[in-house]
Structure formats: C-alpha cells, structure tokens
Amino acid sequence: MTRTRRFAAVTAIMAAVTCTGSGCTVIPLSGPIAVSDVGAGDPLGRPFQRMIAIGPQREWGPEETIKGMQAAMAAYPDDPSVLQQYLTPEAKATWNASGPVTVIDDAFEIVAPPPGDGTETVQTVTLKGSSVASIKEDDSYVPTAGAWERPYELVKAPGGGYRVNALPPGLLLTASDVDRAYRPTNLYYLNRSTQDRLVVDRVRLRMKTTERFAQTVLERLLQQPTAALQGAVSTSFPPGTAIESVRSGEERVVIDLASPLDPLDLSAEDALRAQIRYTLNNNDVAKGRIIEIQVNGEPYAVDRPNSDEHWLDDSGDHAYYVSRGAVRHLGKDRPEGVVPGAAGEPREGYSDFAMSLSKDGPPLVAALTTTGISVASLTQDGRWQEVIHGESLTPPTWHRDGSLWTYDRDNAVLLRYDPAHGQAPERVSAPEVEKLDVTRLRIARDGVRVAVTTGKNTVQIGALTGGGTMLGNLQLLTTIEMGSEITDVAWGDDEHLLVLVQTKAGQILNEINVGDGETTGVPLKDRLNSVAALDDRILAEAETEKGTKLLELNQDRQTWATKLETDAGAPLFPLG
Amino acid sequence: MPPTNQRRSRRTFRQILGGARRRVRRAAGKARSTWRRSLQLQVVTSTMVISVIVVVVLGTFLFGQISKSVVDSTQESSNSEAFADRLQIADALAPETDDQDKTTDSGKQGSANPLDEVMDTITGSGEGGTEKRYDMLVLNRRLPGASRGSGTVVPGDVPANLQLGLQRNIRDQQYDEPLATTGKIRFAEEGQSRLTYVIGGVVHVPTSGESYEVYHFFPLDEEEQLLVNVRLAIVVVGLGLVLLLAAIAYLVTRQVVTPVRLARQAAERLAAGKLDERLKVRGEDDLARLANSFNEMAANLALKIHQLEELSQVQRQFVSDVSHELRTPLTTVRMAADLLYDAREDFDPMASRSAELMQAQLERFESMLADLLEISRYDAGAATLDLDPVDVRDLVLRAIADSEALAERHSTRFELRLPNEPCMAEVDNRRVERILRNLLFNAIEHGEGRDVVVTVGGDRDAVAVAVRDHGIGLKPGEDTLVFDRFWRADPSRARTIGGTGLGLAISREDAALHGGWLQAWGQPGEGSQFRLTLPRTAGADLKGSPLPLVPPEIEMRRTWRTSMTPVLLPAVADGGGYDED
C-alpha cells in the first residue's frame, strides 16, 4: 500500500467514525455537562395592562362621553393629554388630578336628564354607582361602602359631541381600573421604639410604564409611611436619599442610592438591607437573588437571600393551651405537659391568658382575674403575682419589649407594666382611645400596631407612636352590623387580624388585612370561643357538649382538625 | 508687470499638485514594475482577489439564508402567537358563541370586564404571570373605555400604513386578513428607534358589531443582534479565509518561485561572467531537473566561452604580433616612400601622383597600425593612466586648436561654451586630448559644415564635455554602434579625414579607463552629440553627469510637443536624463 492510499484510508475511517459518533446531527450530541444556574437577570418588573384612552368622538352622546372621560381618568397618569380633550377650557383651568382617588364599582350608571327640545347647550348628567374605596395621597387604600353619585355638566362641542364643563378635582376610577393599574404593595419600616423589627405598611402603588416595579416600590419606600404608621415607625434611609438606578445583572440586583449616607458608616447597613430585601421580596421582586446596595456608585452592602430572618422573626410557633386553669404546652401533634411553676397548676378564676416573648429568660404568662392582672413566670418557682389592680381591665396583652399592657375601663387609662423594673403600672397617653368604650386591646407582634375593639362591633387599628409612649393613629378597620358581637380578635401575622364575630345567624371568622381592609372568611363548623394565631397557624377553642376542645385550621385553610378533644381551650401563642 | 503674490501662490499650488502627481505616478510605476517582476506577488494577488470574490459571494448567500430563516421563523412564531391572542380576545368578547357549558358557569365572571380578564391572561398581568416578549394594543375607537395596551406602546406607535390598512379591512369587512410590517419604530416612551415586527389584526364581535384593532409589537432586537453577530462572524471568518488562502498561495508559490529565483540569480551571475556559478540540486522533482539542466548549460557555456576567450586571446595576440611585425617593414617602406615623395617633382605626372597616393595611404596605414597597437594594449590590459590634475577647459582648447585646420577645410566653426571657473580633474592629458580630438574630428566630418558646439560643465563630482554637431545625426540604435570597432554609418561613404574606424572605440576605452562615460545621442536630421563625463578624481564612481546627453533645445522642443499633443507623438526612449549610466 502506498503512502497516498494509506492516508486516504485513514481519512475515510476518521470521517466514518466522526459521522457515526455524532449521529449525523446538526446539533452535536453531548453531555451530561455541568451547567450554570445563573439566570438571565430578574426583570424587576411585573407585566400589567393599561387602559388606552380615546379622545371624545363626535358621534358620542352624554353617556359615552362620561364613560370615555372616566376611561381617560384611568389612563391619566400615563397620558394626561386625552383627559384634557374631554374638558372645556374652563374645566381645564380649574381641574387638577390631586387629592384622593375615588374608587367606585364597575357597574355604574349614567343618568341623563329628560330629553329636551335639542337646542339646550348644557346638560347635567349624574353618575351613580357604589363606592368601593378611596386611595389617599399617601397611597393607602381605604375601603368605603355606600352609594356614590356625582353630577357632571356637559356642553355641546362645536364640531359635535360633548365636553365636560365642570369637574371636581381628583380622579375617579372603577374597581377594575384599580385592579389593572395598581398593585397592593407591602413596604417595610423599622419599629421606632425597638429598632429590631420591621413593620409592614400596605399601600397601593400605580404601575408606571416608564420605570420598573422594583424602582417604583423602592422610591415609595424612601417616602413617609402611610398615616396609620406616622410617628410609629422609622426608616434607615437618611433624609435626602434617592434611588439612582435599579439594575438587574446576571447574578444580582444592583441598587444604586444617591444618598448622604457615609459608605464607611455601617451602623444602619443591617436595617437598610432588611428594609430593601423584605420590601422587594415580599412583593415578588428579586426573590432569591443577591441584592447589592451601592451608595453614590460605591459598593455599600451585599445582601444574600435568606441570610438573616430575625427582622420578621416571631420566635417560633410554640403554642400553649389552658386546661382547667393550668397552662400547658402544645406540641405539634400532641400535648407536652404542663408548664413549670404556678401557671401549670390548675386554678380557678384566671382567664384571658397571654404569653410574653422573652428573649433571655423564661416567658411570663399573664391572666385576668376579678381583681386585676396577675403574672407568673414559667419557672419551677414561678408564682402568680398580681401586678395591675383593677376590676374592669381589658384582657392583658404583651408587647415585644416585655411590657404588659391593659386598658382600665373604669379610669379610661391605658396602662403599661414592665416586669423588668417591677414598678407600678404607668399610664400611657392615648387621647383618641379615652373617649371610646374599649373592650379589647391586642398589640401586634411587630410592637407597633394595636388592635382595639370598641363597643361590641367595631375594630380599630392604632399604632404606638412616639417611641411607644403613646397610642394614636386610630383608624377604623371594620364595623359589624348592630346586634352582632365581636367575641375575640387575634393577630395572625403583622398585617392580618383575625376577628371572631357572633352574629344572629351564626359565627364568622374573618381574616382582615389591616393595611387595606381586604377580608378573607375562614369557614367554621364548630362554635368557637376564642382564637389564637401565629402566621399560618390558627388555633381555636371550640365549645362542645362535653366542654371545650382545641381545634387547628388545616393548611388548606378550609377545614379544622381537632387537636385535643376534652378539657382543652384558650389556645395561646407568645404575643399577638 | 511683476508677478503678483496670487500668481506665485497659484504656481506654487500647481507645482505641489504636479509634484504629488509625479510621486503617485512614480509609486504606481514602481508597483507596476514590482508586480510585473514578481511571480509570487502575482499568484498571491490573484489568489486573494479570487478568494475575496468567492468569500463575498458565499458570505452574501450564507448571510441571506441565515437571515431569512431567522426572520422567517420569528415572524412565523409571532404570527401564531398573535393569532392565538386574537382568538382569545374574540372568544372572551363573544361569550355567547361558546358552547352551552361555558355560558352556564360564567355567572361569576359576569361583573368583571371580559376585555380586562382576557388581557390579564394574555399579558401575564394576573397572579404568577410572566412578562411576555411582546407588547400589544387593543383599540376600539368607537367605544369608550374599550381600548387596552400592555408595556409602553401607545396608539401613536402604530405604523400609519398598517393602521390605514386595518381600518380599510374593517370598512371592507375583511376581518380575517391580518397585516404585518417590519420597521424601525420610535416608541414615544423610549425615545429611541427599535426594529419591531408589528402585526395588526381585527377582532370582530358579530353580536355587538364592534371591531377591535389588535396590534402586536414583537421586538426584533435579539434577532438583529444575532444577525449582527453572524455577519461579524462571516466577515471575520471570510477575512481569515482570504488571508489563509493568501498565505497558502504564498507558501506554495514560494516553493516554486524560490528555486526559480535562485536560478535567475545564478543566470544573472553567470551572465555577469561568473562562469563557475551553479545551482544546488535537491530532490528529483521538476525544479531539481531544471537545476540540473541549468548546471549542464552553465558548464557547456563556460566551456564554450573559455574556448572563445582562448580563441579571442589568440586573435588579439595575433593582431598585436602582426602590428608589431608590420612596424619594422613599414618603417622601411615609409622611408623609401618619403624619398619617392620628396622626389616626386622629378617624376612624370603619373609616377608623381602615385608617390603622393602612396604617401597618404602609408600615413593612414601607420595611424591604423598605431590604433591597432593601442587597442591591443587595451585588450591585453596593459593600458595605464598617467594622471595629472588639469583644467579640462585647457584640454578642450588644445584639441580645438588641433582641429582648426580640418574645420577650416570643412568651413566648420566652433562654438565654445566654457564655464568661467576652472574645471579641474585628475586625468591623463594625452588620452583625454585624444578623445576630444576624435570627437571634434567626427563632428567636423559629419557636421556638414554646420557649427560644432563644444560645452564644458562640471559639478562637485564630475566634469563633462559635450560635442554637438548638426549633421545627419544617428538613427535609433546607432548611438551604441558608433563605439564598435570599424563601424561605419554609411559603408559607401568615403573617409575624408582618413579615420581608421577605431577612434571612438579607443576613446570609449580611454573614458572607461578613467572610470568615466562616453555616450552618444543622435537623431536623424537633428545632428548628434557626444558627451564625455569624467570623475574629478580618477576611479571614483560616477553618479551623474553635469551636462545633459540630449541637447537642451531638443529636450525643450520635445517637452513642448508632448504637452501640446501628448497622444500624437510617440515616446522617445533615448536617454533624456543627466544621470543615466
């Protein structure tokens, strides 16, 4: 065989092997190979649809014109020019979009005046609907109810069609408009008194076409909280801070702040990271991603996902219950015996137990007696000790700073007792509460919000302002119809309050978002006496023929499971 | 009128332009010459040109195919997505056209706007929705609050022709004919143009009679970027391929050209007289055989040349010997002839005339013999120089004085153009005088009685003497033949001054012995000019001559004609410059 022939044979064999190995595919077969998990970058935004406003048409009558104008109001922040086309020059001169946004139900109607002879140039039509909510200028969403109507003056336009002559200031949106353009958003601020816990503030933010949702949220976070939390929370962002840019790289989200913050001063770094992390993640943005914070272009902090959970930590979900006056541990699946000390001994006359959250030592349990409120430590030598005297006190509630709070209905004063100092209870200023018939007081686990039931059928939400020295910012959360009665309230997580209502028709258990009043009903089967909740866990005492039993709401949030059949009730979680 | 500054500046500009043109022409000439002379360059250039054409054609075809398939597949998927969206919208807006099951359980959806619901689904605005790669617009210009959009697009972003086409479709009730356009759209919100594929379709709701214009905006940024990268890759690969092919062509031709070049160099050396030059023979291929043949040829040539040299040597020796041997009897004959000549008056007229003729022919024979001896000395390499620094002007004057008699006989006058300063050079007086005398005699003989111009010039390195006559001139090619031994322009013409036919040959040898040049120029009807250029220091290399070979008036006339009728006059290839060698 000559050299040339040998070379040709080798080449042919190599070509055949290559062709067979690759299967003659266009894309070569390979693998398994290690692949990088790096994504293509977080979009940092959320898709949304917008109303596209159309200017007034010549062939439109008064009803279409008002509907078109309302649609133009829905699109006003995106394109203010279309709404202007609906207005007469006078109306343009006087109208402005400032003020609260009125939200009405989609099914509104336009009531036109009786038909005239066709020569009248001015017509007054009335828009009738039912009020749904109001979005305040601080972006808080306040549900409202009741009928709503507003007259509009229409002028015939020279070329045909109508123009609106007089228009009250502010925008009028339908519920669909709000669903389309606004997103419920949780902002996280710092508990002003303890500075160790984030407090959620719920707002409705309008989606902007010009910027991504992450930027919209962060820019709102730099502003003041809503009126409900004014004075009660603080922020780690120094005044004058602005968002320079929010970028999404392959591995991380980079937030550049224009701020007077000193990049070398890391005292606020932890809180700042937590505020940004929770505000973004809990609004489904930048979830599971590294967040890099820059100050004036200089690296400041890097926050890794799940690095630190203590900012929303509620210290476990250890539950307790009361059996014949004795406080007992409740394990996940079965009872785990009595608590140590006097609190674990059966005793009559103690009710409305409340468990404290103690970071260093054993927790304290408080209970209401006929003469006041007693406290016992959950230690072997713990003894009941009456710390607040009074015959008409509301059930005790613990603050996360370790203090015990109650309202003395006889003297109309809010009392605070601090076991660490052992001094007499001190009065806490609560000017808004003093005039009310306070029946219940529950401090949320964030240490800021306070649920106050007044009378039998109203729940108001206040906040501990001034570094915890005053109860203020009271806002109505819910009112039930007369004849019904609120039998218990309990904080679920920081933004949800469970309200147990006894109506004539039966019992209702509602989970209400204290930020925007969004209410979710929890189905009930048994008659409940009390509820306790911690995040997703809801425990309840149900009344049976044999006494009381302990129930727990299943994960599907539709059915209840019996935890203890007999002699078990008054479930307790620390705080809340 | 004195020249103005403007004219001067214009002239300067023209000069600059002329200079640039000359430089370009010179560079082009050099490049052309290099191209003509290098086979390797020709092969590499041809390969490059052909491969560039192939790569461009293939690249264009390839890019066209890739571009078409990328854009086609994108448009196809976009069309199907847009179609699916329009179907969804049509379905949502006309629930009564659904089957019975759907209508019965759609009670809970009754309150919400169906357009909102379907847009939530399409745009991914609902819970857990993801951002779509496209934006869309749903427009109903007749119904208030029935238009929706996603992303940043606004009605003003819709291309006008697409909108008009869609509205025409609505007017013509052609609802199933979506239109599409690809173009750069300047989005109002973004402020910059983006390549976008826009599909417009109509969703018609028969029950309400409403028609919705549905526009989908598919960005083609990624496809554009992909195609830009592909184009870049094709360009880079193509460029690399061309360079690679050029390199291959270079290497391959080098394998062939290098031996050929070596053969050429060997041939040149062989031609220069190095007869022992041989090529190295490597291998057995064609080039090796060429080298073998070359070496054989060189060997044969060397042998023949050697033989010829020997023969030539024998001939030269023979001439030299004959010349020497002839001198002695010639001297005797001469003495006898002198006696006869002196006594010619005593002879009868016939005998007297014969004595005179014999005397004249003997003189000529003697000078011929002297010239032959001189030439023999040169051939034998025995000629030596007797150098003295002299003023060349003096030599010229002396030579003219020697020629005066002949000039008078021919009614020829000399016109002398001598420099004012002395023209000193280290020369052999006798030989240079002989050269000048030869040139002057020639000029007189061929000058036909017209003036003979003698010009002397000098520069730092050389001196030159030009002798110009206005006789019949030289035909093309004769300017080198004149220096051949015994060459005669017109063999029928008689020699009037008794020339031996060796004068110019000896003169050239004299000039070469000084390291100088003796050159001739001539043109029929224009006369001729002979220029002798000598280095100021004997043996120094000459780089140029202080005087032009072509007489200035001829050069000026030629330049003038060239500039007036550049096409009609053929180029004259004789030496026009000062520095030819």
Task: Say whether both A506 and A372 belong to one domain.
Answer: yes
Q: How would residue B452 be classed by pLDDT, with cut points 50, 70 and 90?
A: very high
Over 50: is that where the pLDDT of B580 sits?
A: no
pLDDT at B107: 36
Task: Report which listed range, A106-115, A354-363, B213-222, is most confident.
Answer: B213-222
Over 50: is that where the pLDDT of A311 sits?
A: yes
Q: Is beta strand B193-205 parallel, antiparallel or unpaired with respect to A537-544?
A: unpaired
Over 60: is that where the pLDDT of B158 sits?
A: yes
In a domain, A3, yes or no: no
Q: Which residue of A has its CA nearest to B156?
A: A52
pLDDT at B102: 40
pLDDT digits (tens, 9 = 90+) for A218-277: 999 999 999 999 999 999 999 999 999 998 877 788 999 998 888 888 888 889 999 999
Q: How would residue A129 be classed by pLDDT, with cut points 50, 70 and 90?
A: very high
Show residues of chain A in contact with B132, CB under 8 Å: 47
In a domain, A21, yes or no: no
Distance of residue B79 Cα from the nearest chain A Cα, in angstroms: 21
What is the H or E stretch that residue B30 is in? Answer: helix B5-37
Query: Which residue of A46, A65, A180 is in closest CB contact with B116?
Result: A180
pLDDT at B124: 84
Q: Which residue of B has its CA nearest to A73?
A: B145
Q: How many CB atoms lie within 10 A of CB A50?
A: 26
Query: Is A210 touching B (CB cutoff 8 A)?
Result: yes
Q: Which CATH number is correct for B111-226, 3.30.70, 3.30.450, 4.10.800, 2.60.40?
A: 3.30.450
Over 90: is that where the pLDDT of A82 sits?
A: yes
- In chain A, the number of structural domains is 3
Cα–Cα distance, A247 to B391 (Å, whole number): 93
In a domain, A108, yes or no: yes
Provide the chain B residues 371-430 that lie in CB contact (below 8 A) with chain A.
none
Task: Say whether both A217 and A155 belong to one domain.
Answer: no
Cα–Cα distance, A107 to A87 (Å, whole number): 24
Q: Which CATH number is correct for B386-564, 3.30.565.10, 3.40.630.10, 3.90.76.10, 3.30.360.10?
A: 3.30.565.10
If phi over 0 gives left and psi between -120 and 50 gives alpha, with beta otherwise, what is residue B448? left
**Which of these three, A311, A329, A355, is where a domain ends?**
A311
Query: Which residue of B113, B132, B145 is in closest CB contact with A47?
Result: B132
Q: Is the pTM of this model over 0.90?
A: no
Over 50: is that where the pLDDT of B97 sits?
A: no
Cα–Cα distance, B424 to A565 (Å, whole number): 143
A169 beta partners: none
Cα–Cα distance, B212 to B175 (Å, whole number): 10
3-state class percentages of chain A: helix first, strand second, coil last, to nearest 5: 15, 40, 45
pLDDT at B568: 41
Domain span(s) for CATH 3.30.450 in chain B: 111-226
Over 60: is that where the pLDDT of B7 sits?
A: no
Task: Say whether both A242 and A302 belong to one domain.
Answer: yes
Cβ within 8 Å, pair B138-A52: yes
Identify the weakest region by mean pLDDT among A98-112, A163-177, B399-413, B489-503.
Answer: B489-503
What residue numbers bound the domain in which A82 lies? Answer: 62-180
Identify the weakest region by mean pLDDT among A185-189, B67-71, B109-113, B188-192.
Answer: B109-113
Cα–Cα distance, A140 to A204 (Å, whole number): 6
Distance of residue A130 Cα from the nearest chain B Cα, in angstroms: 14
Task: Say whether both A322 and A258 belong to one domain.
Answer: no
Cβ within 8 Å, pair B116-A48: no
Task: Say whether both A375 and A486 belong to one domain.
Answer: yes
Region A166-179 average pLDDT: 90
Identify the weakest region by mean pLDDT among A120-129, A471-480, B117-126, B555-564.
Answer: B555-564
Cβ(A374)–Cβ(A384) below 8 Å: yes
Task: Say whether both A261 and A340 belong to one domain.
Answer: no
In a domain, A395, yes or no: yes
Find which of B121, B147, B225 to mutate to test the A interface (most A CBs within 10 Å of its CB).
B147
Over 80: is that where the pLDDT of B36 sits?
A: yes
A441 beta partners: A452
Domain span(s) for CATH 3.30.565.10 in chain B: 386-564
Query: Which residue of A43, A54, A60 is in closest CB contact with B131?
Result: A43
Cα–Cα distance, B341 to B357 (Å, whole number): 9
Task: Say whether both A197 and A331 belong to one domain.
Answer: no
Cβ within 8 Å, pair A52-B142: no
Query: Which residue of B111, B131, B142 is in closest CB contact with A47?
Result: B131
In a domain, A293, yes or no: yes
In a domain, A48, yes or no: no
pLDDT at A21: 58
CATH classification of the domain holding A391: 2.120.10.30
Cβ(A272)–Cβ(A206) below 8 Å: no
Distance of residue A440 Cα from the nearest chain B Cα, in angstroms: 37
Provide the chain A residues 282-321 that lie in CB contact (below 8 A) with chain B.
none
In a domain, A8, yes or no: no
Provide the chain B residues 119-178 that lie in CB contact (below 8 A) with chain A.
119-120, 123-125, 129-132, 137-145, 147-152, 154-155
Distance of residue B283 Cα from the nearest chain A Cα, in angstroms: 18
User: CB pairs below 8 Å between A and B: how many?
Assistant: 79
Cβ within 8 Å, pair B150-A106: no
pLDDT digits (tens, 9 = 90+) for B71-83: 999 999 999 999 9
Three-class SS state of A212:
coil
Three-class SS state of A319:
strand
Pairwise pLDDT comparison (B255 vs A43), residue with the higher score: B255
Residue percentage of chain A with pLDDT more than 70: 94
pLDDT digits (tens, 9 = 90+) for A249-262: 777 889 999 988 88
Query: Which residue of A52, A60, A79 is in closest CB contact with B137?
Result: A52
Region B146-156 average pLDDT: 89
Three-class SS state of A395:
coil
Distance of residue B239 Cα from the nearest chain A Cα, in angstroms: 25
Over 60: is that where the pLDDT of A60 sits?
A: yes
Find which of A52, A70, A127, A177 to mutate to test the B interface (most B CBs within 10 Å of its CB).
A52
Distance of residue B93 Cα from the nearest chain A Cα, in angstroms: 16
In a domain, A409, yes or no: yes
Task: Say whether both A298 and A240 belong to one domain.
Answer: yes
- Closest alpha carbon to A94 in A164, A172, A173: A164
Cα–Cα distance, B52 to B45 (Å, whole number): 10
Distance of residue B286 Cα from the nearest chain A Cα, in angstroms: 20
**Average pLDDT of chain B?**
84
Cβ within 8 Å, pair A51-B145: yes
pLDDT digits (tens, 9 = 90+) for A416-435: 999 888 888 999 999 988 88
Start-to-end C-alpha separation, chain A: 94
Over 80: is that where the pLDDT of A79 sits?
A: yes
Query: Which residue of A49, A71, A79 is in closest CB contact with B150?
Result: A49
Residue percentage of chain B with pLDDT more than 90: 33
Cβ(A293)–Cβ(A243) below 8 Å: no
**Which of these three, A276, A311, A346, is where a domain ends?**
A311
Report CA-CA distances (Å) from A118 to A65, A152, B124. Answer: 17, 18, 47
Show residues of chain A in contact with B131, CB under 8 Å: 43, 45-47
Over 50: is that where the pLDDT of A413 sits?
A: yes
Task: Say whether both A147 and A245 belong to one domain.
Answer: no
Domain span(s) for CATH 1.10.287.130 in chain B: 286-378
Task: Say whether both A114 and A158 belong to one domain.
Answer: yes
Region A76-95 average pLDDT: 91
- Could you give the count of Cα atoms lying within 13 Å of B272 in the half-sphere of its Cβ? 8
Task: Say whether both A173 and A254 belong to one domain.
Answer: no
Task: Say whether both A189 and A172 belong to one domain.
Answer: no
The CATH number of B286-378 is 1.10.287.130
Query: Which residue of B124, B144, B150 is in closest CB contact with A50?
Result: B150
Residues 6+ apart with CB under 8 A from A411: A390
Residue percentage of chain A with pLDDT more than 90: 41
Query: Is A485 touching B (CB cutoff 8 A)?
Result: no
Cβ within 8 Å, pair B141-A79: no
Range A382-399 burial, b when 16+ CB lie within 10 A, else e: bebeebbebeebbbbbbb
Region B329-333 average pLDDT: 87
Region A492-510 average pLDDT: 90
Q: How would residue B271 be classed by pLDDT, with cut points 50, 70 and 90?
A: confident
Distance of residue B280 Cα from the nearest chain A Cα, in angstroms: 28
Full DSSP string of A140-188: -EEE--SEEEEEEEEEE-TTSSEEEEE--SS-EEEHHHHHHHEEEEEEE
pLDDT digits (tens, 9 = 90+) for B288-319: 888 888 888 888 888 888 888 888 888 878 87
Cβ within 8 Å, pair A57-B142: yes
B268 phi, psi to nearest 5 deg: -65, -45
